[in-house]
Structure 1
Amino acid sequence: MTPPLSERLYQRLVGTDDGAAGGLDQEVAAAVPRNATRQVGALALQSAGDLVVDAKTVLAWLLAAVGAPTAVAGLLVPVRESGSMLPQAALVPWLRRKPVRKWVWVAGAVGQFAAVTVMALLAATATGATAGWGILAALAGFALARSLTSLASKDVLGRTIPPGQRGQINGWASVASGVVAITLGLALRVFGGDETDPVALAWLIGVGGLTWLLAAAVFAGVVERPEPDPADDAPGAVATAVRLLRDDRPFRHFVVARTLLLVSALTPPFVVTLAGQQGGAGLAGLGPFVLGSGIASLIGGRLWGRASDRSSRLVMVAAAVIATGITLTFLAVLQVDALREAAWLYPTTYLLLAIAHTGTRIGRKTYVVDLASGNQRTEYVAVSNAAMGLLLLVTGAVSSAVATQGPQAALLFLAVLGLVAVPVGLRLPEVSGERAAAG
C-alpha cells in the first residue's frame, strides 16, 4: 500500500533518528509526518508573505513611492521587530491556559492578513504623511498579530515534532519561501521598470497577504494533544521574566548571545541605503535585493536546518563569524573608489548577509525550542523575545545615532557586536542533536 503523501514527503525531506518519538504522546508521534509537512507548508507560506511586506526592502520602497516622511521609514524595522517581540511575555499567562496552542497561531495568521490588507488599501488610495503613518500603524497591528504566531509556533513545534528534526522543519520552510522570493525578485527585475508605481506595489502586497489565509488553513490541520491547564497562581509576566533572567544562567546567556547576533539583522538596511545613494530607483532596483533574500533562504535553509539539528549553538556562532566578516570586507571595499560604484557590490553583500541571517534565525529558533520543554518552553520563547524587543530598540537607537556619522560608522559598530558574539556563543551549553546526547 502506498504511504500517504505527507509521509512520503516527510521521508524525503526530514532526516530522522530511527523514528525516535522524543517523548511525544502516541497519537502525536503517529502524526509526525503530517505535522511536519503541515508546519513546513504553513511556515513557508508565512515566510513568502514576509518577503512581500519586508520592512527592509518592499515597505521602504513603498514609502518612498507614496512620498511618506523620512521619519516613518526609519521606524519601519523597529516597529516590525520590536512590536512582534515585546508583547510576548505578557501573553504567556493567557497562552498557558490554552490546552491546544495551534489555534493561537491560526488567529495570528488571520490578524496578519487583515493588517496587510489595510497596507495595500492605503498604498492604493493615500499619499504623503497619511499613507506613511497609516502604513506604519498597520505594520504595528501586523507585528502584534505576529507575536501570536511567533509565540505559538515554537510551542507547537516542540509538542508535535521530536528533537533532531525541528531545525529541518525551519530549514525547509526557508527553502520553500526562497523559491517564492527568487520568482518575485526575477519578476521585479525583468518587468519592474524604472518607475515605482504605488498601485502596482499595492496589488503585490494585497496578493501577498493571501498567503497568511492559506497558512492558517494549513496549520489548522496539525495534530496536537491537549495539555491540562496550569495552576491559576502562575506568576505574572514581569515576575517570570525577572526570575528567568536572574536565576536561569543558560537562558540568560542565550538572551545575551541573541542580542549580539543582531549584526546579521541590522546591517542589511544600511547596505540598501548605501545602494540607494548610488542610484537604482524603481521596482527594477528592488528586484536584486528580493532575489538575494530568496537565494539566501534557498541555500541557507537546507544547510543551516540540518546543521542546527546537530548543534544550533555552533550554527549561531558560525553565522556571527560570517556576518561580521562580510561587513568588515564590505567596509574595506567601500574605500576603493573603483569598486564603490560597482553594480554587483551591494546586492552581493546583501545576499551574503541574508545567508548569514538565515543561519542566525534558524539556529536561535532551534536552540530555544531544544533548551526547554513543556510550559517552560513557552516562557523561554516569550521572555527571550520580549527582552530582545527591548534590546533591539536600544541597539537600533544606538546604531541610528552612530549612523548620523554615516552608514559606514553604523556598520562598523554592528561588526564589533558580531565579534563579541563569537566567544559568548561558544560558551552556551550544547542542547541540540547528537552533540547534546554525547554531552
Structure 2
Amino acid sequence: MTGLSSPSRPRERRGRNRTEPSGGTGGGNTRSVRPVRLAPLDLLGLGLLGIRTRKLRAALSALGISIGIATMIVVTGIPASSQQALMAELSALGTNMLRAEPVPNEQSPVLLPEESIDMVRRVGPVTKVSAVANTHATVRRSDRIAANDFSGLTVLAAKLDLLGAVSADVASGRFFSRADERFPTAVLGSRAATRLGFGRLAPGEPAPQIYIDKRWFSVIGILEPVPLAADLDQTVLVGWPAAKELLRFKGNPTVIYVRATESRLEDVRGVLAATVFPELPGQVTVSRPSDALAAKRATQNSFSSLFIGLAGVALLVGGIGVANTMFISVLERRREIGLRRALGASRGQIRGQFLTESVALSGLGGLVGTLLGVLATVGYATYQGWPPVVPLVSVAGGCLGALVVGVAAGVYPSVRASRLTPTEALSAT
C-alpha cells in the first residue's frame, strides 16, 4: 500500500505548482504579470509633468497653438462683423421688398380689389404688407389760392403699417394712429412739405392746416426722405378710413408694398400677381427683386468660402507647431522613457503620457487663443463702428479644434516613444 501511494504525492505537488496563480509571493510565471492601470487623474498628472518641468518650452508651444486659434477667430470674426454691417446696408436698399400695382391704362384704369391686401398677407413667406391708394384729390396751402392753382402733389390714402413696409421714418411730428386715421389729418412727404412751405412741426403748438378738396386737414407729421419709395416724398398722406369718408375714396389700393423672406422672394414674386388680382393677373405688374439682393447673396457666399480657407490654414499652422514640439520632446526625454520602461511602465502608459501632454498643450493654447481672438475681434469691430460678431462656430471650433489638433499632433511622437526599448532609450546620449 505504501508503495502505491508514495508516487502520487509528487504528482499532486506538481499539479498544484502548475495551477498556482502567477504573480504571487512564491515567484510564479513573470510573463503573465500585468502592469498596474493608471487612473485618469494619475495619467493627467503624468502628462502635465513635462509641462511643469519645462515651463518655457510649454509656454512657447501653447503660444504657437494659441496664435493659430486666435488667428482663426479673428479672421472669421472681423469679416463676419464687417459682413453684418454690409448686410445691414444692403438690407436698407430693400433686398426683400416687392411692389405690386396695376398696369397703367388711361382709357380703362384697372382697380385692384380692396381685399387684395389681406390676400397677400396670407402668403407664407410674406412678413409685411401695406398699401397706398390715389384719392385723385387736390391739395392747396389754403383756400385763398385759386382752385386751378393747385400744388401738383398727389394725395394718397395710407395704411397704418406703411412706415414699416417701406422703411420710412418721421422727421417731425408723428404718423397716423388708429384715432388719427379716422379724422381729417395729414402726413407730408419731405418734398411735399417743402413745396407747401413747411419746415419742422414744433411740439406743443397747434397743428398747421392744408386745404384738400375743400376741406381743412391738420398736418400732424412730416416724413424723412424714403429711399425705397421715392414717390412718397412728394405726396400728402391721409388716413385710409378718412379718405373713404371725406374724399369719396372707394378703397381700391393703387400700390401694394410687400416684404418677404429673402430666400423665398422669387417664389413670392411668382404668385403675387395672381394673389393680388386672381381674375386678371396679367393686369398687375410686380417689381423684380433688387440688384442688391444678388450682391448680398454673392457677398455671403464669398465670405463663407474665405472663412473656411483661413480657418483651415490657421489650424494647420498650429498643429504643425505642436507636433514639432512633441517630437523634439520625445528625442530629449529618451532617458526618462527608458527609465520608466525599465521600472515596468508599459507601452500604453508611455503613449498615454505623451498623448496627454500633447492634448494639454493644445487645450491650453486653444483656451488662451480663443480669449485673445474674441477680445481682438470685439475691440476692432467696436473701433470700426461695426456690430461685433463672434461666430459661435468659430469659438466652439477653436476649442474643439485645438483638442483634435493635439491628438493628431501627439499620435506619432507618443507611438515613437512607446516603441523605444529600455536598453535603446537608456543608451541614448
Q: What TM bracket, shorter-length normalisation?
A: under 0.3
Q: Normalized against structure 1, the TM-score is what? A: 0.25
Q: Which has the higher helix share?
A: 1
For the pair shown, which has the larger CA radius of gyration, 1 or 2? 2
